[in-house]
Chain A
Amino acid sequence: MADHHVIIDNLVKTYPGAQKPSVDHVSFSLPRGEMLALLGPSGCGKTTILRMIAGLIAPTSGAIRLDGEDVSSIAVYKRNMGMVFQAYALFPHMTIARNISFGLEMRKVGRAEREERVRKALDLVKLTGLGDRKVSQLSGGQQQRAAIARSLVIEPELLLLDEPLSNLDAKLRDEMRDEIRDIQARTGVTAIFVTHDQDEALSMADRLAVMSAGRLEQIGTPREIFDRPQTEFVASFIGAGTVFEGKVTEHGLAMVEDLKELRFVGDAPLGSPVKLMIRPHRLRLLTDAGQPNRFSGTVEHIVYRGQTLTLNVRCGSRLLQADLPTHAGMLPERGSTVTLSVAPEDVTLVGQVSP
């Protein structure tokens, strides 16, 4: 931890006149070359953290360390950060090449070197030969590439991206997602990006920091966040699922409301309360008897989604959502009774269980 490239240490931001802090004692760190996603609903403080790291707003307390040195009191224009803004914020009165060259001019880099580095940056983001275009002559995707080039050409300490894909249409978004990941990997720059889109976070980031109401809920790899959510907020924010509360009665077996017995994998002491989550895509239509975790219920609602079929099945007082593959042969009908099952290893144990 201590030798990590970026360390965010107990960062707090309380806006004047606000009752509660927008960012409340948040700490995390990144090793060099990592891509971290700050994920959370709007207003959770993720953009505020990004802007504090950039230097656009001053933290109320806490430290931002780069290679061990606290930069939180260094002026924004001396921090050597690269930032890609949500709407790109390219300089509308300059050509693309001048936009990219801007940071180098501010650093008094000589003309010849500037031109060479701008050319390389244009190549990196696949805008070769478009340097003379005006900003308005570029498509949304191209503008974003230009914004990335402008941020990377200065060889920043850190690349910050604020909702980088939110202004793109769905198809372009998938393309740019891979593209950004690829550029980041090739340049090896340490990067933090802010998003409210869990798919984006899961697919682009090495690790995710999930935030809610100014607090850091959990930080971990996509797999850890998805399969081992530490809090109910994380469990419900990342991926859909139904949470059941119950008590451990045997090792790996809990009595839960509505479903009676639920087998799971994980360490939870006997007699302790647990929260278990069943994700829709991990449920199966029961084919052979004798499997654990069987629930029967009435189909209340069916949505056909092409690749999957979403069923809402009433089990006791709860509605259980199941996403089934459509090749399942016999498709259930509304009002019919079905039996669903879930493998114990596919049941998500929410949070750390206190004895």
Chain B
Amino acid sequence: MQENALLARITWNTLITLLYFFLLAPIIIVFIISFDTRQYLAFPPESFSLGSYVKVFHNAKFISAFWRSLIIGGIVGVVAVSAGMLLSLSLVRYKFRGRAAVNFLILAPFLVPHIVLAVGIMLVIAPLGLLDSYPGIVLAHLGITIPYTVRTITMSLMAVDTRVEEAALVHGASPRMVFWRITLPLVRPGLIAGGVIAFLISFDEATISLFIVSVKASTLPTEIYHYLEYSTDPQIAALSVILILISVGVVVAVEKLIGLRRAL
């Protein structure tokens, strides 16, 4: 009996370890390859150096695309949170005809494959003359990030006791003051979580961006894609490691500051 239990536990632990290894393997391999000195991607590396990292920091295309991605991600984060706040308020606080339909439409981007969305968004943005422009890529990213901000903010908003808002009203706060002084501070965790998620999605997104931007408003993921079309050297691995570190850094910073898990 006891031996059986022991065996079961060992099997279980091995299985979990393998599963984690499988999930983390690509990241680990990319991390190792990024230190290789050869001019093509291969595993295992022959010798190690930081040369690829130096090259990435001297690649003007990558650097300018990085700043563009940062700016686009920042704008997308702020706008997606603002729009998400308005949508959440109307969905949580007001009963109107077609509320269920709106709720479903907001979730729709979760269900449609990104490649399909990409074609759709491109067909909308092209006639507006916004292809390969900041407004174009921001609009495209808003389309896929707003569902996330609505999600996180709606969760926070539903946890706010409406009696607290009523108490503020009765004691002299106009509806505008109630929003700024009571509602907004109380949904802050949802705003921050939504903003971080929207930023990260925009920062990492490649599929839709490839349809919208080419040169002027190219983002870092699209630059990586185009780079890969012509050359595969460890620079890409080094850049990937940097991107992973940035994402992890943002999540850890927010976690330390306000507790992302609580916010989610």
Contacts and interface: CB of A to CB of B under 8 A. Distances in A.
A340 to B, nearest CB: 49
A89 B163 contact: yes
Nearest to B167: A89
Interface residues of A, number: 27
Contacts of B171: 77, 82-83, 102-103, 106, 150-151, 154
Interface string B134-170: 0000000000000000000000000001011011111
Residue of A79, A93, A107 ringed by the most chain B CB atoms within 10 A:
A93
Residue of A81, A92, A93, A106 ringed by the most chain B CB atoms within 10 A:
A106
Nearest to B161: A89
Contacts of B169: 55-56, 76-77
Nearest to A151: B171
B163 to A, nearest CB: 4
Interface string B58-79: 0000000000000000000000
Interface string A21-37: 00000000000000000
A315 to B, nearest CB: 49
Residue of B163, B170, B172 ringed by the most chain A CB atoms within 10 A:
B170
Interface string A70-86: 00000111111111011
Contacts of A92: 164, 186
Nearest to A51: B166
A163 to B, nearest CB: 12
Contacts of A12: none
Contacts of A82: 170-171
A262 interface: no
A91 B185 CA distance: 10
Interface in A88-135: 89-93, 102-103, 106-107
A56 B175 CA distance: 12
A103 B172 contact: yes
Interface residues of B, number: 18
A102 B182 CA distance: 11
A144 to B, nearest CB: 13
Nearest to A102: B171
A56 B166 contact: yes
Nearest to A100: B171
A56 B164 contact: no
Given A89-B161, A91-B182, A93-B186, A83 B173 contact: no
Interface in A284-325: none
B177 interface: yes
A87 interface: yes
Residue of A55, A56, A77, A151 ringed by the most chain B CB atoms within 10 A:
A77
A90 to B, nearest CB: 7
A106 B172 contact: yes
Nearest to A75: B174
B185 A83 contact: no
Nearest to B160: A92
9 contacts: A56-B169, A76-B170, A77-B177, A79-B170, A89-B164, A89-B166, A93-B185, A103-B171, A154-B172
